[in-house]
């Protein structure tokens, strides 16, 4: 009978085994990786629930004889890439650290291994966690007659491996559907060459299919990196979302646009990395893949596998697809890097992506994967270079998502206004006493002309009211004076959120995800009135200077308010003859301070209303500067 020996201190298994991986999907994915590395065409995963739950992983790979079990499976820390960097099909292997098999002890206390190689030579052993760690025992061998396989789950040569996990330490009764969804996202290999089939109890196995993950039918923005991913951009172009609400970019093409190029990372980028022996090496760091946004967050739910799930199971299935996943050598390296590169804007929650960075698993460089295979060493130069690049890409995509959403909002508002106008028009034509009188006095064409003219008048009035805005141009150092003006308009019962742009107030700030310059440029194309809050700090602000130039260039109406300078100090091209509110602001500031200004808002509201209404500029002098006034 063959002997099986673990080549590591058993205490290491006791310490690492139960804590190496946290979730069932990652544990099973590790064992599926072994099947891929064995050159299997098929890997079957079966979840058996009930009073004695089991997880069974079977494949039709090359299998192992007893010596190979000892050398490759039981040698903890064996670096497969040193000796066998390619699997029997000539593909790069997933395994590297040789500790993945310990992950099974995070799920089960008993591991049964059955394997068969060409010519019918068999191997089999049982790894009992308690015996190994508490009694310092070696794995128990299984007699040849006890080494049995499921019919039809060996190769044509009779080769393959079967692993059974028993004495399960986690609740796997609700694992099946979550496992399907996670496994389909764990590998980026050709699933026609390597099929992963998963079943629950005696149900028919379900074959994992990447077609289930058709993100691109539901995306409204995308940036592809690498020529091979341009096809993904084409899929977004062809989806059912109206062209007006899509933004599609290819990194290579975008470099030709100087305006866009300045907002993108440099790929490839020369960096210094550590070689396997710790020596510094110059490399060209590069990655490929895609990043974009989903049109609607609820669309992600449609990509979750629920077929056959009970109502209760459907309720519990939860797979977070709002993420950017890192792959290296076709296997998931980090499930979600988005929290480290997000913009903190609302549209981060729409971002999805897949980034492929093979240099993370370059055999010539130091191993940067952390022990549980669920991420990378964040201080490695390769990782920092990637996250810096992704921050730029995410910012670029989120800004365009904001543009798309803003366009949708405008279109929706216009549609609602048109619908409301149609209702008014219909109401006027059908229900008013005026129309009844007109119908007796006028012919059909004349009545229609009256209806149309009234409709156009009402529509123009509504449109003017909805588009007119006030921009308070100011430096952040003097935001309290802008807040004072906002309070005045609030007392006048204005709709602040829809009528003002004042970036120091959350109610009237630049919309989430919008570039401030692009947003203000759009606003200067509308009927906007600018209130300049001039101060010594005003001319130190690039945004304020840009707003001054834009108002002058577009000949927009404006008023001047000065805080700590004189009107003569207001630089051209803005007309410094407009007196505005200097006396009011400085007079009140000298007596009550910034915190007391709002108590005088009603007294000043007449003056500001005069500016907006087109009344000739006039200085307002309070009767007294005493604080009690």
Does residue 339 have a pLDDT over 70? Answer: yes
Answer yes or no: is pLDDT of 588 > 60: no
Residue, of 507 and 465, whose pLDDT is higher: 507
Q: Which pLDDT score is estimated for 435?
A: 65
Q: How many residues does the chain have?
A: 629
Instruction: Report the Cα 523 to chain-centroid distance in Å.
Output: 28
Per-residue pLDDT at 423 exceeds 90: no
CA distance 370 to 133: 24
Specify the long-range contacts of residues 144-152, CB closer than 8 Å, at least 24 apart.
147/114, 147/115, 147/116, 147/122, 147/123, 148/114, 149/58, 149/114, 149/116, 150/44, 150/58
Q: Chain-centre distance of CA 64, in angstroms?
A: 43
Query: Residue 91 — very low, low, confident or very high, per pLDDT cuts 50/70/90?
Result: confident
Q: How far apart are alpha carbons 32 and 151 in whole angstroms? A: 19
Task: Average the pLDDT over 107-127 and give the result.
Answer: 92
16 has pLDDT over 60: no
CA distances from 279 to 44, 282, 504 (A): 43, 10, 51
- Predicted confidence at residue 425, as pLDDT, reads 65
Alpha-carbon distance values, 564 to 36, 561, 574, 582 (Å): 73, 10, 18, 9
574 token code pair: 């803005």
- What is the mean predicted confidence (pLDDT) over 398-414? 92
Asked if 34 and 96 count as a contact pair (C-beta separation under 8 A), the reply is no
Binned at pLDDT 50, 70 and 90, residue 10 comes out as: low
* Lowest mean pLDDT across 141-145, 471-475, 525-529: 525-529
Q: What is the dihedral of CA 295, 301, 396, 359, to 10 degrees?
A: -140
Distance CA 257, CA 82 (A): 45
Predicted confidence band of residue 396 (pLDDT cuts 50, 70, 90): very high
Tokens of 238: 């062809």
Question: DSSP letter string over 368-406?
Answer: -B-TTSS-B-TTSHHHHHHHHHHHHHHHHHHHHHHHHHH
- SS3 string, 547-572, reads HHHHHHHCCCEEEEEECCCCHHHCCC
In the chain, pLDDT over 70 holds for what percent of residues?
A: 76
Note the pLDDT of residue 134.
Answer: 84
Least confident range from 279-283, 337-341, 397-401, 461-465: namely 461-465
Q: Is the Cβ–Cβ distance between 239 and 218 less than 8 Å?
A: yes
Q: What is the rounded average pLDDT for all residues in the chain? A: 79
How far, in whole angstroms, is CA 335 from its chain's centroid?
A: 12
Range name among 73-77, 219-223, 323-327 with the lowest pLDDT average: 73-77
Alpha carbon distance 607, 590 (integer Å): 19
Kind plus residue range of the DSSP H or E element containing 292: strand 288-294
Structure tokens at 307: 């077929």
Tell me how far apart the alpha carbons of residues 569 and 547 are, in angstroms, rounded to a whole number: 18
Is the CB of residue 5 less than 8 Å from the CB of residue 76? no
Q: What is the pLDDT of residue 472?
A: 84
d(CA 229, CA 291): 11
Residues 6+ apart with CB under 8 A from 285: 268, 269, 270, 271, 273, 359, 382, 385, 386
Region 105-131: mean pLDDT is: 91
Judged by phi (left if over 0) then psi (alpha if -120 to 50, else beta), residue 43 lies in beta
What are the tokens at 141? 């061998």
**Mean pLDDT on 129-157:** 91
The predicted model scores a pTM of 0.64
In contact, 403 and 514? CB cutoff 8 Å? yes
Higher-pLDDT residue of 591, 15: 15
- Give the residue carrying structure tokens 């006890």: 146
Query: What would the mean pLDDT of 80-105 be, rounded to a whole number?
Result: 72
Give every CB contact of residue 397 below 8 A, 6+ residues apart in sequence. 221, 222, 223, 291, 292, 293, 351
338 touches 345 (CB < 8 A):
no
Q: Which residues pair with 10 in a beta bridge?
A: none
Instruction: Indicate the range of 79-83, 228-232, 320-324, 593-597 predicted with least confidence.
Output: 593-597
DSSP symbols for 244-266: GG-EEEEHHHHTT-HHHHTTS--
> What is the mean predicted confidence (pLDDT) over 262-287?
93
Radius of gyration of the chain (CA): 35
**Angle at which helices 479-491 and 601-613 pack, to 10 degrees?**
80
Q: pLDDT tens digit string along 344-353?
A: 888 998 999 9
pLDDT digits 0-9 by tens, 188-198: 767 778 999 99
CA distance 553 to 225: 39
Q: Which of 29-38, 276-285, 320-329 has the lowest mean pLDDT?
A: 320-329
């Amino acid at each position: 009978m063959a002997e099986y020996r673990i080549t590591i201190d058993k205490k290491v298994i006791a310490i690492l085994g139960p804590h190496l991986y946290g979730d069932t999907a990652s544990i099973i994915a590790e064992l599926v990786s072994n099947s891929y590395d064995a050159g299997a065409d098929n890997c079957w995963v079966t979840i058996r629930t009930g009073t004695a739950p089991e997880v069974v992983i079977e494949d039709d790979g090359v299998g192992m004889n007893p010596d190979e079990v000892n050398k490759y499976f039981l040698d903890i820390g064996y670096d497969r890439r040193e000796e066998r960097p390619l699997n029997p099909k000539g593909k790069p292997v997933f395994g590297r650290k040789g500790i993945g098999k310990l992950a099974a002890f995070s799920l089960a206390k008993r591991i049964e291994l059955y394997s068969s190689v060409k010519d019918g030579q068999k191997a089999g052993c049982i790894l009992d966690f308690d015996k190994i760690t508490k009694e310092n025992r070696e794995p128990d061998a299984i007699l040849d007659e006890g080494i049995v396989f499921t019919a039809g789950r060996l190769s044509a040569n009779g080769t393959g491996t079967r692993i059974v996990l028993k004495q399960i330490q986690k609740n796997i009764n609700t694992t099946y559907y979550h496992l399907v969804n996670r496994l389909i996202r764990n590998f980026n290999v050709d699933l026609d060459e390597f099929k992963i089939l998963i079943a629950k109890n005696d149900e028919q196995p379900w074959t994992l299919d990447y077609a289930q993950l058709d993100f691109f039918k539901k995306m409204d923005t995308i940036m592809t990196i690498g020529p091979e991913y341009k096809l993904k951009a084409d899929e977004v172009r062809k989806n059912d979302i109206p062209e007006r609400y899509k933004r599609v970019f290819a990194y290579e093409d975008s470099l030709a646009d100087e305006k866009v190029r300045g907002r993108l990372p440099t790929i490839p980028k020369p960096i210094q990395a550590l070689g396997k022996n710790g020596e510094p090496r110059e490399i060209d760091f590069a990655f490929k893949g895609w990043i974009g946004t989903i049109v609607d967050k609820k669309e992600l739910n449609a990509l979750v596998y629920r077929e056959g799930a009970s109502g209760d199971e459907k309720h519990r299935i939860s797979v977070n697809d709002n993420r950017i996943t890192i792959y290296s050598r076709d296997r998931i390296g980090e499930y979600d890097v988005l929290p480290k590169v997000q913009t903190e804007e609302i549209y981060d929650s729409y971002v999805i992506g897949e980034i492929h960075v093979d240099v993370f698993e370059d055999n010539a460089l130091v191993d940067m994967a952390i022990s549980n295979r669920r991420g990378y060493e964040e201080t490695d130069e390769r990782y920092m270079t990637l996250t810096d690049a992704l921050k730029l890409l995410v910012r670029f995509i989120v800004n365009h998502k904001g543009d798309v959403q803003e366009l949708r909002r405008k279109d929706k508002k216009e549609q609602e206004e048109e619908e409301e106008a149609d209702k008014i028009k219909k109401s006027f034509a059908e229900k008013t006493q005026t129309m009844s009188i007109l119908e007796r006095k006028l012919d059909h064409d004349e009545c229609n002309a009256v209806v149309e003219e009234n409709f156009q008048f009402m529509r123009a009035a509504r449109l003017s009211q909805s588009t007119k805005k006030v921009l308070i141009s100011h430096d952040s150092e003097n935001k309290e004076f802008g807040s004072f003006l906002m309070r005045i308009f609030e007392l006048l019962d204005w709709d602040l959120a829809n009528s003002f742009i004042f970036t120091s107030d959350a109610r009237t700030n630049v919309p989430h995800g919008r570039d401030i310059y692009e947003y203000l440029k759009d606003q200067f194309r509308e009927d906007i009135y600018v209130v300049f809050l001039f101060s010594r700090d005003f001319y130190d602000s690039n945004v304020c200077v840009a707003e001054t130039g834009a108002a002058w260039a577009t000949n927009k109406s404006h008023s001047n308010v000065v805080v700590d300078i004189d009107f003569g100090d207001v630089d051209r091209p803005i007309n410094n003859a407009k007196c505005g509110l200097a006396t009011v602001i400085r007079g009140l500031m000298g007596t009550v301070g910034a915190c007391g200004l709002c108590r005088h808002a009603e007294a000043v509201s007449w003056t500001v209303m005069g500016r907006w209404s087109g009344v000739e500029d006039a200085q307002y002098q309070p009767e007294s500067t005493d604080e009690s006034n």
